[in-house]
Chain A
Amino acid sequence: TQLLEQSPQFLSIQEGENLTVYCNSSSVFSSLQWYRQEPGEGPVLLVTVVTGGEVKKLKRLTFQFGDARKDSSLHITAAQPGDTGLYLCARGDAGNMLTFGGGTRLMVKP
């Protein structure tokens, strides 16, 4: 059972569309990270959110941490084929261990 629920699991959209990916938990987390993974490679960190209500922007990507620190979202504006990949949210646990959500596989068609 995943401690972090990600939705949707799979998303296929056309270039230029917007999308939002969600990461939810029944418990509070002290911090949450979003990673992007391309096929055959390891995940790469996109952002870390720590404060409830925090919003961070990374070019066309907007990350939000819920006020109660139980949920987070990733919004991509005007998606491009280069955004295709597996997006993973992860919470930090004791001993620097990460627990990952189930992942959202995004495909952006040209």
Chain B
Amino acid sequence: GAVVSQHPSWVICKSGTSVKIECRSLDFQATTMFWYRQFPKQSLMLMATSNEGSKATYEQGVEKDKFLINHASLTLSTLTVTSAHPEDSSFYICSATTYTEAFFGQGTRLTVV
């Protein structure tokens, strides 16, 4: 089946620094990828839709200047958490869809200290 690879799996950073998370579709082209955030013991909340070659579409309440999304190719989308604060600590997951199924990355656990 299709594979989506997310990197890194976990990262610890200091407050005020920026962190980049990569999401790659390994064996199919994805014109659209999605970024989710998941708090402990909760479901996935959609943050934004990443569109290849154009600006991302952000969900209400998600700061686009804080969560920068770049989808420069059909196989790669990146999420950069800028000027990270402890409240940004969370599990971030990307997904890419084919016509019939959504495939998820392994997730990135971000801890801001």
Q: Chain A residues in contact with chain B, CB under 8 A?
A: 2, 6, 33, 40-45, 48, 86, 88, 90, 95-103, 105
In the docked arrangement, what's the CA distance between A43 and B6, Å? 13
DSSP majority for the B interface?
strand
Identify which of A40, A45, A105 contacts B41 (C-beta below 8 A): A105
Check if B43 sits within 8 Å of A100, measured CB to CB: yes
User: Could you tell me if A96 and B44 are in contact, using CB atoms closer than 8 angstroms?
Assistant: no
Query: Main SS of chain A's interface residues?
Result: strand
Q: Is B100 an interface residue (CB 8 A)?
A: yes
Contact between chains at A101 and B102 (CB < 8 Å): no
A90 neighbours in B (Cβ, 8 Å): 102
A96 touches B102 (CB 8 A): yes
| A residues near B9, Cβ cutoff 8 Å | 40
